[in-house]
């Protein structure tokens, strides 16, 4: 058994107010289109992913593979009849060939064989208790997985990058190591995306959702060299590249997902202090945080008070490939830490974000 309650502290105590039809948006009334938000399906859990030997798992970070499938990468995974029992693996992966996202994602095979196997070669123990994935990206024929190594859950000791050249079937350690103490811990958990300008942009923050977010960029050919990442920061002359990395705001940022849709960028993240999942529409990752429309997609609530926009003990939020800005599908995690009876990944659909201004 492991104790991950630290990661979710504050969630269970937050009470919801029952079903609400509206969602919170910033901006003028004229810029607030009606959003349609709906739960599509539970994707993992007993009775759903037992056949792959992973009835208990979370996160589900998706990326299109070079061969055209979608790989979903999961966090702490257990084979046993109950959460925390049986073989402990992290990260793990399942492939999907689903293209009709509104009908719900289904999985076609597990990475590792008939039953899922751990993607990264290490033993859960005193040196590394677990490695949690934070994002996956495909560039050309290579997939890149960023993960956070913990020595006792929540004690991040470094983050690194693993690569795959066979659509996620096997993974190699690139040797990249990001210092977990750098930038007051803000270089631990990340999300990244390629820009039309040829740069890869990386937002990062503390693993335990206790600090603000910072920004770096790097050329894709140097993605596995931390020394090549250029910080975005501010000094007396203003914001610019190559200056000391500066928090983009004072806001606390949790798990996040940055994806580009043409000339727009969409960031989703877990807002731990306010117990909700939010989205922000950007013209560019360097856009000042206080600018641009922002919307709450899902509110945290109590068990027994859930509906399409209220979810008990929610976290995560990762945009599924095949989404359009006006029709976003994302994975959301849920864990009942009271009795461990629920620990799963779900699929949500959000329509109308393209109308935000």
Phi and psi at 155, nearest 5°, equal: -100, 80
CA 102 to centroid of chain Cα atoms = 20
For 90, residues 6+ apart whose C-beta sits below 8 A from its C-beta are 74, 75, 76, 77, 118, 124, 130, 131, 132, 133
Euclidean distance between CA atoms 37 and 334, whole angstroms: 17
Euclidean distance between CA atoms 137 and 329, whole angstroms: 17
Euclidean distance between CA atoms 291 and 296, whole angstroms: 16
For 355, residues 6+ apart whose C-beta sits below 8 A from its C-beta are 33, 326
In the block, tokens 């830490």 appear at 337
**Domain coordinates in residue numbering, the chain:** 5-355
DSSP 25: B
Euclidean distance between CA atoms 265 and 254, whole angstroms: 18
Pick the CATH number of 5-355 from 2.115.10.20, 3.40.50.300, 3.30.1330.10, 2.120.10.30: 2.115.10.20
How confident is the prediction along the chain (357 residues), in pLDDT tens digits per residue? Answer: 444 444 434 343 333 333 333 344 444 333 456 899 999 999 999 999 999 999 999 999 999 999 999 999 999 999 999 999 999 999 999 999 999 999 999 999 999 999 999 999 999 999 999 999 999 999 999 999 999 999 987 899 999 999 999 999 999 999 999 999 999 999 999 999 999 999 999 999 999 999 999 999 999 999 999 999 999 999 999 999 999 999 999 999 999 999 999 999 999 999 999 999 999 999 999 999 999 999 999 999 999 999 999 999 999 999 999 999 999 999 999 999 999 999 999 999 999 999 887
Tell me: the pLDDT tens digits for 214-260? Answer: 999 999 999 999 999 999 999 999 999 999 999 999 999 999 999 99
Inter-CA distances, 190 with 153, 230, 263, Å? 17, 15, 22
The encoded tokens of residue 281 equal 């529409």
Euclidean distance between CA atoms 354 and 357, whole angstroms: 8
CA nearest neighbour of 355 among 246, 243, 264, 255: 264
Burial class, 302, CB count within 10 angstroms (exposed 0-12 / middle 13-18 / buried 19+):
middle
DSSP 56: B
Tell me: the pLDDT tens digits for 336-351? Answer: 999 999 999 999 999 9
């Amino acid at each position: 058994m492991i104790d991950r309650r630290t990661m979710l502290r504050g969630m269970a105590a937050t009470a919801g107010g029952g079903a609400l039809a509206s969602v919170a948006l910033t901006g003028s009334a004229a810029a607030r289109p009606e959003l349609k938000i709906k739960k599509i399906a539970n994707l993992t859990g007993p009775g759903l992913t037992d056949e792959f030997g992973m009835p208990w798992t979370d996160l589900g970070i998706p990326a299109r593979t070079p061969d055209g499938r979608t790989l979903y990468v999961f966090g702490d995974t257990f084979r046993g009849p109950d959460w925390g029992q049986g073989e402990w693996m992290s990260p793990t992966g399942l492939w999907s060939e689903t293209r009709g996202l509104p009908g719900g994602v289904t999985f076609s095979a597990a990475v590792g064989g008939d039953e899922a196997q751990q993607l990264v070669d290490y033993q859960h123990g005193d040196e590394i208790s677990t490695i949690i994935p934070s994002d996956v990206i495909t560039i050309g024929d290579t997939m890149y997985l960023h993960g956070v190594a913990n020595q006792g859950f929540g004690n991040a000791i470094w983050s690194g990058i693993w690569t795959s050249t066979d659509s996620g079937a096997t993974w190699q350690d690139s040797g990249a190591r990001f210092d977990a103490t750098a930038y007051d811990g803000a270089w631990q958990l990340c999300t990244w995306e390629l820009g039309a300008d040829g740069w890869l942009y990386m937002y990062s923050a503390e693993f335990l959702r206790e600090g603000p977010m910072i920004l770096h960029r790097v050329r894709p050919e140097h993605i596995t060299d931390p020394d090549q990442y250029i910080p975005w920061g501010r000094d007396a002359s203003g914001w610019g590249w190559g200056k000391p990395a500066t928090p983009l705001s004072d806001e606390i940022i949790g798990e996040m997902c940055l994806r580009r849709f043409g000339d727009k960028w969409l960031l989703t993240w877990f807002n731990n202090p306010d117990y909700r999942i939010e989205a922000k529409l950007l013209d560019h990752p360097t856009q000042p945080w206080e600018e641009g429309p922002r919307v709450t997609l899902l509110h945290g609530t109590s068990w027994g008070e859930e509906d399409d926009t209220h979810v008990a003990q929610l976290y995560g939020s990762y945009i599924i490939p095949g989404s359009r800005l006006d029709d976003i599908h994302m994975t959301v995690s849920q864990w009942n830490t009271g009795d461990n009876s629920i620990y799963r990944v779900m699929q949500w659909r959000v329509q109308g974000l393209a109308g935000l201004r």
